[in-house]
Amino acid sequence: MIWFNKELNADHFKAMNDETMGQHIGISFSEVGPDFLKATMPVDHRTQQPYGLLHGGASCVLAETLGSVASAMVIDPEKFICVGLEINANHVRSARSGFVTGTCTPIHIGASTHVWDIKIHDEREKLICVSRLTVAILKKPL
């Protein structure tokens, strides 16, 4: 298990999402495994671009939310903070409605950086987006 809190479950994330962009666009954390984190997001007026397709930026928000929160759950929050360094995304298929689900898994968990793989699928398990997020781990200011 990679999580700092060994009893981590999806309920731990509800308060973290309050009054954030994630809450605004409907992101909801749905599952925590020993080395993965999942969240869903609706494909609706909040997340679509003018053609009615899932906006690539919304996919990036889901990916960055998952990776950033995953990093925050790996570190000791008394000693460290984490901040995003770089995100990339390949949008391989469109979605027009329903929900998409992002699954975040670690590529690298180091002392100063984390790298996360985030795959976003639609309700038919079709791959929508592949993203990679790099997060810097910084000592908490004294």
Q: What are the tens digits of pLDDT across the range 36-72?
A: 999 999 999 999 999 999 999 999 999 999 999 999 9
What pLDDT sits at residue 72? 94
| Confidence check: pLDDT of 142 > 80 | no
Please answer whether residues 102 and 82 qualify as being in contact, where contact means their C-beta atoms are separated by less than 8 angstroms: no
Cβ neighbours for 35, distance < 8 A, ≥ 6 positions apart: 1, 2, 105, 106
- Write out the residue range of the structural domain in which residue 45 sits: 10-139
DSSP state of 123: T
* 12 beta partners: none
On whether residue 99 sits in a domain, the answer given is: yes
What pLDDT sits at residue 9? 79
Closest CA to 116 of 127, 131, 128: 131
Closest CA to 137 of 99, 103, 106: 106
What pLDDT sits at residue 10? 76
CATH of the domain at 58: 3.10.129.10
This prediction has a pTM of 0.94
On whether residue 50 sits in a domain, the answer given is: yes
Residue type, 80: F
Distance between CA atoms of 32 and 103, rounded to whole angstroms? 10
In the numeric block, which tokens belong to residue 3? 């999580």
Distance between CA atoms of 76 and 22, rounded to whole angstroms? 23
> Domain count of the chain?
1
On whether residue 65 sits in a domain, the answer given is: yes
Please answer whether residues 74 and 11 qualify as being in contact, where contact means their C-beta atoms are separated by less than 8 angstroms: no
Write out the catalytic residue numbers: 64
Stronger pLDDT, 20 or 118, i.e. the higher one:
118
Stronger pLDDT, 12 or 53, i.e. the higher one:
53
What confidence tier does 11 reach under pLDDT thresholds 50, 70, 90?
confident
On whether residue 4 sits in a domain, the answer given is: no
